[in-house]
Protein backbone atom coordinates (compact mmCIF):
# COMPACT_ATOMS: atom_id res chain seq x y z
CA UNK A 1 0.00 0.00 0.00
CA UNK A 2 1.12 3.59 -0.65
CA UNK A 3 2.97 4.66 2.57
CA UNK A 4 1.16 8.01 2.31
CA UNK A 5 -2.15 6.21 2.93
CA UNK A 6 -3.06 5.10 6.47
CA UNK A 7 -6.34 3.42 5.69
CA UNK A 8 -7.87 2.07 2.52
CA UNK A 9 -11.26 0.43 1.96
CA UNK A 10 -11.99 -1.20 -1.37
CA UNK A 11 -15.53 -2.14 -2.34
CA UNK A 12 -16.52 -3.01 1.22
CA UNK A 13 -19.99 -4.41 1.86
CA UNK A 14 -21.62 -5.46 5.14
CA UNK A 15 -25.06 -7.03 5.44
CA UNK A 16 -27.12 -7.73 8.54
CA UNK A 17 -29.98 -10.19 8.15
CA UNK A 18 -30.86 -9.10 4.65
CA UNK A 19 -30.26 -5.39 5.37
CA UNK A 20 -27.19 -3.86 3.71
CA UNK A 21 -25.57 -1.52 6.27
CA UNK A 22 -22.60 -0.64 4.00
CA UNK A 23 -22.52 -1.14 0.24
CA UNK A 24 -19.41 -1.20 -1.96
CA UNK A 25 -17.67 1.52 0.02
CA UNK A 26 -14.21 2.59 -1.15
CA UNK A 27 -12.17 5.31 0.50
CA UNK A 28 -8.56 6.30 1.18
CA UNK A 29 -7.41 8.20 4.24
CA UNK A 30 -4.09 10.02 3.74
CA UNK A 31 -1.49 9.78 6.52
CA UNK A 32 -1.71 12.77 8.86
CA UNK A 33 -5.20 13.72 7.68
CA UNK A 34 -8.16 14.65 9.81
CA UNK A 35 -10.73 12.65 7.90
CA UNK A 36 -14.45 13.02 8.53
CA UNK A 37 -16.78 10.09 7.93
CA UNK A 38 -20.06 11.93 7.64
CA UNK A 39 -23.64 10.86 7.26
CA UNK A 40 -27.09 10.91 8.79
CA UNK A 41 -28.22 8.49 11.50
CA UNK A 42 -28.08 4.91 10.30
CA UNK A 43 -25.84 5.77 7.33
CA UNK A 44 -23.32 3.05 8.19
CA UNK A 45 -20.58 5.08 9.91
CA UNK A 46 -20.24 2.92 13.03
CA UNK A 47 -20.45 -0.27 10.97
CA UNK A 48 -17.60 1.05 8.79
CA UNK A 49 -15.49 1.92 11.84
CA UNK A 50 -16.12 -1.50 13.39
CA UNK A 51 -14.99 -3.17 10.18
CA UNK A 52 -11.82 -1.04 10.11
CA UNK A 53 -11.07 -2.17 13.67
CA UNK A 54 -11.81 -5.80 12.86
CA UNK A 55 -14.66 -5.98 15.40
CA UNK A 56 -16.96 -7.11 12.58
CA UNK A 57 -15.87 -8.64 9.29
CA UNK A 58 -16.98 -7.28 5.91
CA UNK A 59 -18.95 -9.65 3.68
CA UNK A 60 -17.12 -8.35 0.63
CA UNK A 61 -14.17 -6.12 -0.15
CA UNK A 62 -10.82 -5.44 1.50
CA UNK A 63 -9.57 -3.16 4.25
CA UNK A 64 -5.90 -2.22 4.68
CA UNK A 65 -4.99 -0.48 7.94
CA UNK A 66 -1.49 0.96 8.51
CA UNK A 67 -0.15 -1.36 5.83
CA UNK A 68 -1.93 -4.49 7.16
CA UNK A 69 -4.17 -6.04 4.51
CA UNK A 70 -5.77 -8.19 7.25
CA UNK A 71 -7.34 -5.05 8.76
CA UNK A 72 -7.19 -3.23 12.08
CA UNK A 73 -6.98 -6.15 14.53
CA UNK A 74 -3.40 -6.79 13.34
CA UNK A 75 -2.42 -3.22 14.20
CA UNK A 76 -4.45 -2.70 17.37
CA UNK A 77 -1.52 -1.35 19.45
CA UNK A 78 -1.04 1.37 16.85
CA UNK A 79 -4.69 2.40 16.88
CA UNK A 80 -6.62 4.49 19.40
CA UNK A 81 -10.39 4.02 19.38
CA UNK A 82 -13.09 6.05 21.07
CA UNK A 83 -16.34 4.09 20.64
CA UNK A 84 -19.74 5.70 20.26
CA UNK A 85 -20.99 3.73 23.26
CA UNK A 86 -18.78 5.07 26.03
CA UNK A 87 -17.90 2.71 28.84
CA UNK A 88 -15.11 2.52 31.39
CA UNK A 89 -14.49 0.27 34.38
CA UNK A 90 -16.65 2.23 36.79
CA UNK A 91 -15.10 1.04 40.06
CA UNK A 92 -11.50 1.84 39.11
CA UNK A 93 -9.75 5.07 40.02
CA UNK A 94 -9.08 7.44 37.14
CA UNK A 95 -5.27 7.38 37.15
CA UNK A 96 -5.10 3.62 37.80
CA UNK A 97 -7.51 2.96 34.95
CA UNK A 98 -5.62 5.12 32.46
CA UNK A 99 -2.32 3.48 33.45
CA UNK A 100 -3.85 0.01 33.11
CA UNK A 101 -5.31 0.72 29.66
CA UNK A 102 -2.05 2.18 28.33
CA UNK A 103 -0.07 -0.79 29.71
CA UNK A 104 -2.46 -3.09 27.88
CA UNK A 105 -1.38 -1.29 24.69
CA UNK A 106 2.30 -1.91 25.45
CA UNK A 107 3.29 1.31 27.27
CA UNK A 108 5.66 1.00 30.27
CA UNK A 109 3.90 1.67 33.56
CA UNK A 110 6.04 4.67 34.62
CA UNK A 111 5.57 6.32 31.21
CA UNK A 112 1.84 5.61 31.20
CA UNK A 113 1.42 7.16 34.67
CA UNK A 114 3.48 10.21 33.86
CA UNK A 115 1.67 10.87 30.56
CA UNK A 116 -1.74 10.20 32.11
CA UNK A 117 -1.03 12.76 34.84
CA UNK A 118 -0.04 15.32 32.25
CA UNK A 119 -3.22 14.71 30.18
CA UNK A 120 -5.39 14.91 33.31
CA UNK A 121 -3.76 18.22 34.16
CA UNK A 122 -4.39 19.55 30.66
CA UNK A 123 -8.05 18.52 30.69
CA UNK A 124 -8.65 19.96 34.15
CA UNK A 125 -9.11 16.58 35.82
CA UNK A 126 -6.08 16.41 38.11
CA UNK A 127 -8.21 16.77 41.22
CA UNK A 128 -10.15 13.67 40.17
CA UNK A 129 -7.28 11.28 39.55
CA UNK A 130 -7.82 9.25 42.73
CA UNK A 131 -11.61 9.24 42.39
CA UNK A 132 -13.53 6.31 40.97
CA UNK A 133 -14.92 6.66 37.44
CA UNK A 134 -18.37 6.35 38.99
CA UNK A 135 -17.89 9.67 40.83
CA UNK A 136 -17.27 11.60 37.60
CA UNK A 137 -19.88 13.41 35.51
CA UNK A 138 -20.62 12.00 32.06
CA UNK A 139 -18.59 14.74 30.36
CA UNK A 140 -15.63 14.06 32.64
CA UNK A 141 -15.84 10.33 31.91
CA UNK A 142 -15.82 11.15 28.23
CA UNK A 143 -12.66 13.20 28.64
CA UNK A 144 -11.03 10.32 30.53
CA UNK A 145 -11.97 7.97 27.70
CA UNK A 146 -10.55 10.46 25.21
CA UNK A 147 -7.25 10.41 27.14
CA UNK A 148 -7.31 6.60 27.10
CA UNK A 149 -7.68 6.74 23.31
CA UNK A 150 -4.50 8.82 22.92
CA UNK A 151 -2.29 7.73 25.80
CA UNK A 152 -0.35 5.08 23.86
CA UNK A 153 0.41 7.61 21.10
CA UNK A 154 -1.45 5.77 18.33
CA UNK A 155 -0.64 6.34 14.67
CA UNK A 156 -4.30 6.04 13.72
CA UNK A 157 -6.96 7.59 15.97
CA UNK A 158 -10.57 6.58 15.35
CA UNK A 159 -13.20 8.66 17.08
CA UNK A 160 -16.88 7.72 16.77
CA UNK A 161 -18.99 10.85 17.43
CA UNK A 162 -16.29 12.22 19.78
CA UNK A 163 -18.01 15.49 20.67
CA UNK A 164 -21.47 14.09 21.36
CA UNK A 165 -22.76 15.29 24.72
CA UNK A 166 -19.87 17.67 25.47
CA UNK A 167 -20.38 21.33 26.33
CA UNK A 168 -18.94 23.87 23.86
CA UNK A 169 -15.85 24.60 25.97
CA UNK A 170 -14.84 20.94 26.36
CA UNK A 171 -15.74 20.28 22.75
CA UNK A 172 -13.33 23.03 21.69
CA UNK A 173 -10.56 21.71 23.96
CA UNK A 174 -10.88 18.26 22.38
CA UNK A 175 -10.91 19.72 18.86
CA UNK A 176 -7.68 21.60 19.59
CA UNK A 177 -6.12 18.35 20.82
CA UNK A 178 -7.28 16.48 17.71
CA UNK A 179 -5.54 19.11 15.56
CA UNK A 180 -2.35 18.86 17.61
CA UNK A 181 -2.28 15.08 17.41
CA UNK A 182 -2.67 15.27 13.62
CA UNK A 183 0.08 17.88 13.40
CA UNK A 184 2.26 15.40 15.33
CA UNK A 185 1.83 12.97 12.40
CA UNK A 186 -1.08 10.76 13.51
CA UNK A 187 -4.04 10.14 11.22
CA UNK A 188 -7.52 10.92 12.56
CA UNK A 189 -10.71 9.27 11.34
CA UNK A 190 -13.78 10.62 13.03
CA UNK A 191 -17.46 10.18 12.44
CA UNK A 192 -20.17 12.76 12.90
CA UNK A 193 -23.53 13.79 11.56
CA UNK A 194 -22.86 17.42 12.55
CA UNK A 195 -21.54 19.07 9.40
CA UNK A 196 -20.41 22.26 11.18
CA UNK A 197 -17.98 20.18 13.28
CA UNK A 198 -16.58 18.51 10.19
CA UNK A 199 -16.28 21.82 8.38
CA UNK A 200 -14.17 23.28 11.18
CA UNK A 201 -11.95 20.28 11.73
CA UNK A 202 -11.53 18.07 8.67
CA UNK A 203 -9.20 18.37 5.76
CA UNK A 204 -10.83 15.44 3.94
CA UNK A 205 -14.33 14.01 4.11
CA UNK A 206 -16.46 11.13 2.91
CA UNK A 207 -20.23 11.54 3.05
CA UNK A 208 -22.23 8.33 3.17
CA UNK A 209 -25.99 7.85 3.19
CA UNK A 210 -27.94 4.58 3.37
CA UNK A 211 -24.65 2.68 3.39
CA UNK A 212 -23.37 4.18 0.13
CA UNK A 213 -20.77 6.80 -0.63
CA UNK A 214 -22.25 10.08 -1.84
CA UNK A 215 -18.97 11.98 -2.28
CA UNK A 216 -15.42 12.10 -0.95
CA UNK A 217 -12.24 14.13 -1.29
CA UNK A 218 -10.39 16.95 0.38
CA UNK A 219 -12.66 19.64 1.81
CA UNK A 220 -11.18 22.10 -0.69
CA UNK A 221 -11.97 19.74 -3.63
CA UNK A 222 -15.49 19.07 -2.42
CA UNK A 223 -16.16 22.80 -2.10
CA UNK A 224 -14.55 23.51 -5.47
CA UNK A 225 -16.82 20.94 -7.13
CA UNK A 226 -19.92 22.60 -5.69
CA UNK A 227 -18.78 26.19 -6.18
CA UNK A 228 -20.54 28.46 -8.68
CA UNK A 229 -23.92 26.90 -8.16
CA UNK A 230 -24.87 28.83 -5.03
CA UNK A 231 -26.06 32.39 -5.01
CA UNK A 232 -27.05 34.63 -2.10
CA UNK A 233 -29.69 37.00 -3.38
CA UNK A 234 -31.62 39.95 -1.98
CA UNK A 235 -34.07 42.30 -3.71
CA UNK A 236 -35.78 45.45 -2.52
CA UNK A 237 -39.21 44.61 -1.12
CA UNK A 238 -38.32 41.01 -0.24
CA UNK A 239 -37.73 37.82 -2.13
CA UNK A 240 -41.43 36.89 -2.36
CA UNK A 241 -41.78 39.32 -5.27
CA UNK A 242 -39.64 37.04 -7.47
CA UNK A 243 -41.25 33.73 -6.44
CA UNK A 244 -42.21 32.79 -9.98
CA UNK A 245 -38.66 33.29 -11.24
CA UNK A 246 -37.27 31.14 -8.42
CA UNK A 247 -39.78 28.42 -9.30
CA UNK A 248 -38.18 28.01 -12.75
CA UNK A 249 -36.58 24.57 -12.33
CA UNK A 250 -34.51 24.92 -15.51
CA UNK A 251 -32.66 27.70 -13.71
CA UNK A 252 -33.09 27.16 -9.98
CA UNK A 253 -32.77 23.71 -8.40
CA UNK A 254 -33.61 24.93 -4.92
CA UNK A 255 -34.30 28.22 -3.18
CA UNK A 256 -34.22 28.68 0.57
CA UNK A 257 -36.23 31.82 1.17
CA UNK A 258 -35.33 33.69 4.37
CA UNK A 259 -37.65 36.65 3.68
CA UNK A 260 -35.09 39.42 3.25
CA UNK A 261 -32.77 37.23 1.24
CA UNK A 262 -32.64 33.79 -0.38
CA UNK A 263 -29.95 31.15 -0.77
CA UNK A 264 -30.20 29.64 -4.20
CA UNK A 265 -28.78 26.51 -5.72
CA UNK A 266 -28.72 26.85 -9.48
CA UNK A 267 -29.89 23.97 -11.64
CA UNK A 268 -27.19 21.74 -13.15
CA UNK A 269 -25.58 23.66 -16.01
CA UNK A 270 -27.51 26.89 -15.33
CA UNK A 271 -25.56 30.12 -15.79
CA UNK A 272 -25.55 32.52 -12.82
CA UNK A 273 -25.38 35.45 -15.25
CA UNK A 274 -28.64 34.32 -16.86
CA UNK A 275 -30.43 34.45 -13.50
CA UNK A 276 -29.07 37.95 -12.90
CA UNK A 277 -30.25 39.10 -16.34
CA UNK A 278 -33.75 37.73 -15.76
CA UNK A 279 -33.90 39.39 -12.36
CA UNK A 280 -32.99 42.75 -13.84
CA UNK A 281 -35.61 42.26 -16.59
CA UNK A 282 -38.35 41.80 -14.00
CA UNK A 283 -37.63 45.36 -12.88
CA UNK A 284 -36.85 44.54 -9.23
CA UNK A 285 -33.99 46.31 -7.55
CA UNK A 286 -31.29 43.72 -6.85
CA UNK A 287 -29.55 44.67 -3.59
CA UNK A 288 -27.33 41.57 -3.30
CA UNK A 289 -26.15 39.03 -5.83
CA UNK A 290 -23.24 36.98 -4.60
CA UNK A 291 -21.90 33.67 -5.87
CA UNK A 292 -21.02 31.95 -2.61
CA UNK A 293 -18.98 28.97 -1.50
CA UNK A 294 -21.44 26.47 -0.07
CA UNK A 295 -21.03 25.28 3.49
CA UNK A 296 -20.54 21.56 4.03
CA UNK A 297 -24.00 21.56 5.58
CA UNK A 298 -25.44 22.97 2.36
CA UNK A 299 -23.57 20.43 0.24
CA UNK A 300 -24.85 17.69 2.54
CA UNK A 301 -28.43 18.98 2.14
CA UNK A 302 -28.11 19.12 -1.63
CA UNK A 303 -26.51 15.72 -2.03
CA UNK A 304 -28.09 13.65 0.71
CA UNK A 305 -31.54 15.21 0.58
CA UNK A 306 -33.57 17.22 3.02
CA UNK A 307 -35.23 14.16 4.55
CA UNK A 308 -31.94 12.58 5.65
CA UNK A 309 -30.60 15.95 6.72
CA UNK A 310 -33.59 16.54 9.01
CA UNK A 311 -32.95 13.14 10.57
CA UNK A 312 -29.31 14.14 11.09
CA UNK A 313 -30.16 17.53 12.57
CA UNK A 314 -32.64 16.03 15.01
CA UNK A 315 -30.08 13.48 16.23
CA UNK A 316 -28.15 14.17 19.41
CA UNK A 317 -25.01 16.07 18.88
Quote the least distance from Cβ 82 to ligand ATP, whole Å.
13
Residues that bind ligand ATP (CB under 6 A): 16, 19, 21, 39, 41-47, 84, 193
Nearer to ligand ATP, 52 or 255 (CB): 52
User: Which of 130, 105, 135, 132 has the alpha carbon at shortest distance from 117?
Assistant: 130
Residues 278, 14: Cα–Cα separation, whole Å = 49
Quote the least distance from Cβ 316 to ligand ATP, whole Å.
9
Nearer to ligand ATP, 47 or 204 (CB): 47
Decide: 175 and 194 in contact? Cβ < 8 Å: no
Quote the least distance from Cβ 87 to ligand ATP, whole Å.
16
Nearer to ligand ATP, 97 or 308 (CB): 308
Nearer to ligand ATP, 35 or 119 (CB): 35
User: Which of 119, 147, 170 has the alpha carbon at shortest distance from 317?
Assistant: 170
Quote the least distance from Cβ 185 to ligand ATP, whole Å.
27
Quote the least distance from Cβ 170 to ligand ATP, whole Å.
21
Q: How far is CA 137 from the centre of its chain?
A: 25
Nearer to ligand ATP, 44 or 154 (CB): 44
Distances (CA, A) of 293 to 223, 255, 298: 7, 15, 10
User: Which of 31, 14, 39 has the alpha carbon at shortest distance from 296?
Assistant: 39
Amino acid sequence: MDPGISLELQQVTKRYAGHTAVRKLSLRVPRGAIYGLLGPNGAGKTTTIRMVLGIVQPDEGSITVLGNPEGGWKASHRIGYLPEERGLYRKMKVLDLLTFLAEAKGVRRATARRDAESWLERLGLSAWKVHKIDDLSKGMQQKVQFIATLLHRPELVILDEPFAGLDPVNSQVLKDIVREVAQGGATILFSTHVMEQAERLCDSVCIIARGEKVLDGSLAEVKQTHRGRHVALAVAGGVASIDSLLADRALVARADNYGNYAEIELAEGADPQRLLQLLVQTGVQVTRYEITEPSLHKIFLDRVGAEAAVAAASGNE
